[in-house]
Structure formats: C-alpha cells, structure tokens
Amino acid sequence: MNIFEPTETAPKILVADDDPAIVRLLADRCGLMGFEVETVSNGLQALGRLRRGGIDTLIIDVQMPELDGLSVSAYLLEYSKRPLHVIVATGRRDAETVGTCDSMGAFYVRKGGNFWEDLESALVEAYPAKAGRIRQSGLRSTGIAVPMRSRVLLVDDDLDVEGFLRGRLDKCGIDTLFAADAEQGYRIACRDEPAAIVSDYSMPNGNARYLLSRLRTTPATKDIPFIVLSGREISAANERSLKRDIGGRPGVAQIVRKSADTAELIGALRKVCGLETSMI
C-alpha cells in the first residue's frame, strides 16, 4: 500500500530536528526558496507525519529523541512507493553515518561552517528546475552558523555544578550554555533557543517556576523542554504545580535531584534531545 499521497504543486519539506533554533532557521530559509515547510521535533513525530503523506523532502537530524533520524530515513526509503528526497543534516562525520547515507541514497549535509552551501547543493540536485529560486534565496550567504551538536542551557548560581555538568554533557555529545540566574537564563534561552533547559529550583532573581512561566509565554521558547535540578526535596504540591501545563504548553518534563551520579539527568535529557548513545 502506498503510504504517501500525491505531491502538491509546491514541493513540501518536513524538517525534523530537536534543536528549535535549527528548525526555525531551516523553516525560514526553505520558505524563501518556495517550498512549503512543516516541522517536528523528534523521530516518532517525523514518522507519523510522513505516513500521512504529502511530503516530498525530509530534512532530518540523526541524534533525536524517541527514534533516530537514520532509522526513520531507512524505513521510509524502503516503504515509500514514490520518490522521496532525504537530506540527513547532522554534526556527525563518522564513516558509518556517511556510509549509511550513501547506501540509502540520502544526501549527507554536515552541520557546521559549510552547512548552508551543502544544503543548497543538495536541494538544487533534488530540484534542478528550482535551482534559480534556491540560489536567489541567498542560502549560501546567510552568515548564520548552524551548531554541530545539540545545546542545553544550564541555569544555576553554583559554578561548581555548571563545571561538573558541562563535562558530563560534553561526553554525551551535547554543548552547554550557562546562566547564573533566572533573568539571565531567560535572555539566553530567547537568544539561542537551546534544545533543552536544565534549571536549579531556587536561584537569585526568580526560581524555576518563574523562569518556566516566562518561557512558556514567549513564542520562541514556549515548547523548549524544561528539567528542574534541585538540591533539596520538592513538596508533592509544588511538584504537581511545576508539571502542570501553562496556557496549553508543557510544564516541567522531569524533576531530578542533584547528585554526583548523573544517570537520572542524562536519562531525562535523552528523552527530550539527541545524545551520543555510545557515551551514555
């Protein structure tokens, strides 16, 4: 059975990435090139959307929560009964990833300094009739860097905690941003749109509840996963309050107790953003 519907006049691109900043950049740029764009933030969402049909090109990250991008791509390329262009956009450059893309006939585009140029080349090859529109969009000259790895914002007034977690997350393939209080955390989240936020519960200039409320009422940050990392016990009532939706947007994804053992925190992050699973 054909799981895809006939194409529409304007080619439709699905962008799948757990980094909201990259999703926004790709959606804006592909829109300028004349594509219709939809976005999802994890592999299961991508698979579900593609099964409903109407997508012509998939731009997908490798390391994502729920289901990795290579597994999604392999499934779709095997079962699609009509052409589907797949562009794997990833910070990974290992021979296995590149080889897997080649074996599937997928385009490999590495996140980093040449990302926009390589993405433009892939789209021109996939849609030669749209080459002029794609090149006129100024994709190569965007000047906006695309980070190679997922980024997590750590919000904590304890520099020792920041240093310890930075080292642990780096081993899991995650870059970190840091803020010393809730106000600074809010500004950095709006500016950089990290894949997830890990925040201390009690901080200067507002606690985790205050920070979460501000994030959920700001369009750029309204859906960023939020994890509370607390050095003290949080009452059941406060825990329920933190996890409650805010204006239809998700509350705290998980509350984790501060500890030298980061297994619980890493597990929570693995659910909401891509990690190098070999390092977990």
Q: What's the pLDDT tens digit per position in 22-42?
A: 898 899 989 988 899 999 988
pLDDT, tens digit (0-9, with 9 covering 90-100), for 222-260:
989 999 998 888 888 888 888 888 888 889 999 998 888
Give residue 34's region: left, alpha or beta (phi > 0; psi -120 to 50).
left
- Measured between alpha carbons, how far is 2 from 156 in angstroms, rounded to an integer? 51
Q: Do 71 and 46 touch, CB atoms closer than 8 A? A: no
Asked if the domains 12-136 and 150-279 are classified in one and the same CATH topology, the answer is yes
Q: What is the mean pLDDT of residues 157-178?
A: 89
- Write the CA distances from 191 to 21, 142, 205, 215, 223, integer angstroms: 9, 17, 19, 12, 15
Q: Which CATH class is domain 12-136?
A: alpha beta
DSSP string across 158-188:
-HHHHHHHHHHHHHTTEEEEEESSHHHHHHH
The CATH class of the 150-279 domain is alpha beta
Domain ranges of the chain: 12-136, 150-279
Residues above pLDDT 90, as percent of the chain? 41
Q: 159 pLDDT exceeds 70? A: yes
**pLDDT tens readout for residues 110-150:** 998 888 889 999 999 999 998 988 888 766 666 677 888 88
